[in-house]
Structure 1
Amino acid sequence: MERIKLIKMKYISYIMLQSMIYGVGNPLTKLAYESITPFWLLTFRFFISLLIFFLFGGKKLIVQLRVAKISQYFPASMCTALAYITCNLALNLTSATNVGFLMSLPVIFTPLLASIILHQKYDFRYLPLQIIIIIGLYLLCSNEGGFTLNKGDIFALITAIALSGSLVFGKKSLESLDAVTISAAQAGVTALMSLICALVFDDFSIVSNIAQAAWGVVVYLAVICTCIAYVLQNLALVYLSSSIVSMLQCTQPILTAVCSFIILGETLSFRGVLGGLIIIGSILLTNLIETNEKTDQAVKKGDNFTVDLK
């Protein structure tokens, strides 16, 4: 039984690390916008990421992508591209804390999409906890005022839906391709879509005026937030359900709020702290329920060493 818990905790830690990485990346991105536009930042970020993926696994990636059907990686990649484009537009138009709240709504959307696309049965036992998490997220980000939707918040809502799609389609893609190949495909499609948007909506002359600090953020986003975070998520999706991954990613707004306070001076009220505690408690309870369920299944099967964590 301990082996089951250790395996599960290993992949849970991958998503927690991913949330920490994004928690730092969101406020840094807002700082970078002082001298670079969202589309050019995304273009450089994902082309650098794509180059890194091919430098370390080029031959294997090419072989897998050559024999793979486009339907095996394109839906997840397009959802990822849409998520990052709308997320960066949102960060340019609203607070990083609000974006953190809305980006965590896949906890609601993902189980519904998984039931439609993957034909997974929706587990209504988790619905009360999902609702509690949404309440916690609202408290975390509304602070002492009301939560109102502006243009940036609408973009963040689209991000949440697209992230849900990337998790669900990514889970399906991993049935035929490995995590690194899926990550590279997602980076490539996002880079191409970002470049098209940059050429259509932005001025190329802005590239010569990008500050060194902004280039540093681009490198951090490319190497850490894309290459490492993508692989962490896709590896976790091999062993955890997309619904549980989306639930774990609800820790991201807490970390975003902390980093936004340190980097941007965005403050968090008592209501915000209370919301964060509610989120953490709900996530711990959710994982305790699932761990006990998997353990019981293993006991019934008489298998102490191998269990399907999907």
Structure 2
Amino acid sequence: MTLKRVLAADTLLLGITFVWGTTFIIVQNVLDKLTPLTFNAWRFLIAAFFLAGWQFLAKRRERPAFRCSPRLIVSGSVLGTLLFIGYACQTIGLLYTSASNAAFITGLSVVLVPVLSSLFLSKVPSPPVIIGVVFAAIGLFFLTTRGQFTLNRGDLIVLICAAAFACHIIFTAKVTEQFDSLSLTIVQLTVVAFLSFASGLAADGKRIFAVPQLTAPDVLSVVLFMALFATAFAFLLQTALQKETPATHVGIIFIMEPVFAAWTSVLIQHERLGGSELVGCTLILAGMLLAEWPARRRRKRAKS
């Protein structure tokens, strides 16, 4: 793992983070025409079909054909289930909370990564990690409640999304070395699409197909953009790049997602962040940095 490869991977991950951070408003504007499950079902289905077509065409070139093994299906299904939970909760939460709130709470997944890793690996977090988690929790309180003892139900839904995304980062780092990145991405995106359609049929009935609404130019353009750039390419790159850069780098870079989302809300929606929101945002970002910083120092000491 050379420095040049790590820097290249980090730069591409930052680009992915920018796309994710600036799409909260885009998604929120489409949810008045499509249900959240309908949006996710078509988004991930189109992304999975696009990558599957790419894989099929690649058979004639250097890339090996899709290899369907039980271990690949299981690993991809776990990743897909975590993604489904994360995106379903995030999209539903956007119905009841602001884009900036959803983005910052989703960012808590970066803090949860070392905490959940310690539980799965039976390792006690270091004091800086614990302090970082406390900072982030306090920041979440100020951001979502504005200093009052009330919680928006959308914020609680998005908090479930943060936990699911944290588990997704951990499991991706564990299995990405074992499989072809494109094949693993196809399986997990297909699982997300299947679960979205299945739950959509149960919750929304025939509205899950929503062909008239889906074919409207403004809706179709957003769905295609999200499917190709914010889903297919983004998750394929994340899966592949986690082979080239440490997981802690990924966590630090993902910190920028809520920052991009907040500034997008300010610039496009002219949204104003009050004092409590700014304090909450600052504490969450500080907590994320504190939670990740010890790992960075350990790597530097190891290199020395």
The TM tier, using the shorter chain, reads 0.7 to 0.9
Match of 1:45 in 2: 43
TM-superposition CA deviations, 1:194-236 (whole Å, max 9, x none): 1112222224354313432121111111011111221232234
Give the C-alpha shift of residue 91 in structure 1: 1.1
Counterpart of 2:185 (choices 183, 186, 192) is 183
Give the C-alpha shift of residue 287 in structure 1: 6.7
The change in CA–CA distance for 1:296 and 1:209 in structure 2 (over 3 A counts) is closer
Give the C-alpha shift of residue 259 in structure 1: 1.4
Counterpart of 1:227 (choices 229, 232, 240) is 232
The change in CA–CA distance for 1:161 and 1:53 in structure 2 (over 3 A counts) is same
Counterpart of 2:250 (choices 245, 267, 284) is 245
Does the alignment pair 1:157 with 2:155? no
**C-alpha contact (below 8 Å) 2:147/2:276 kept by paired residues:** no
Counterpart of 2:203 (choices 201, 204, 227) is 201
CA distance in 1, matches of 2:232, 2:65: 17
The change in CA–CA distance for 1:167 and 1:217 in structure 2 (over 3 A counts) is same
Match of 1:91 in 2: 94
Report which stretch shifted further, 263-272 or 83-92.
263-272
Match of 2:26 in 1: 28
Give secondary structure in 1 for the equivalent of 2:151: coil
CA distance in 1, matches of 2:136, 2:13: 17
Equivalences for residues 295-310 of structure 1 within 5 A: 295-299=300-304
Please tell me the root mean square deviation across aligned C-alpha atoms, in Å.
3.0
CA distance in 1, matches of 2:23, 2:213: 22
CA distance in 2, matches of 1:236, 1:146: 41
Equivalences for residues 102-141 of structure 1 within 5 A: 102-118=105-121, 122-136=125-139, 141=143
CA distance in 2, matches of 1:24, 1:57: 29
Task: Give the letter for the 2:213 counterpart.
Answer: N
Task: Give the letter for the 2:117 counterpart.
Answer: A
Report which stretch shifted further, 237-246 or 220-229.
237-246
Give the C-alpha shift of residue 94 in structure 1: 1.7
Equivalences for residues 35-74 of structure 1 within 5 A: 35-58=33-56, 59=59, 63-66=66-69, 68-74=71-77
Give secondary structure in 2 for the equivalent of 1:76: helix
How many residue pairs get aligned? The number is 295
Task: Give the letter for the 1:237 counterpart.
Answer: Q
Does the alignment pair 1:170 with 2:172? yes
Report which stretch shifted further, 149-158 or 198-207.
198-207
Gaps of 5+ in 2: none
CA distance in 1, matches of 2:243, 2:126: 19
Match of 1:255 in 2: 260
Give the C-alpha shift of residue 117 in structure 1: 3.2
TM-score w.r.t. structure 1 length? Answer: 0.81
CA distance in 2, matches of 1:7, 1:292: 20
TM-superposition CA deviations, 1:242-290 (whole Å, max 9, x none): 4553343222112111112334343223554555556666666777764
Gaps of 5+ in 1: 300-310
Give secondary structure in 2 for the equivalent of 1:163: helix
**C-alpha contact (below 8 Å) 1:106/1:164 kept by paired residues:** yes
Give the C-alpha shift of residue 16 in structure 1: 2.4
**C-alpha contact (below 8 Å) 1:102/1:153 kept by paired residues:** yes
CA distance in 2, matches of 1:285, 1:161: 18
Give secondary structure in 2 for the equivalent of 1:14: helix
* Identity over aligned pairs, percent: 22
CA distance in 2, matches of 1:113, 1:80: 16
Task: Give the letter for the 2:85 counterpart.
Answer: L
Equivalences for residues 272-291 of structure 1 within 5 A: 272-273=277-278, 276=281, 290-291=295-296
CA distance in 1, matches of 2:266, 2:64: 40
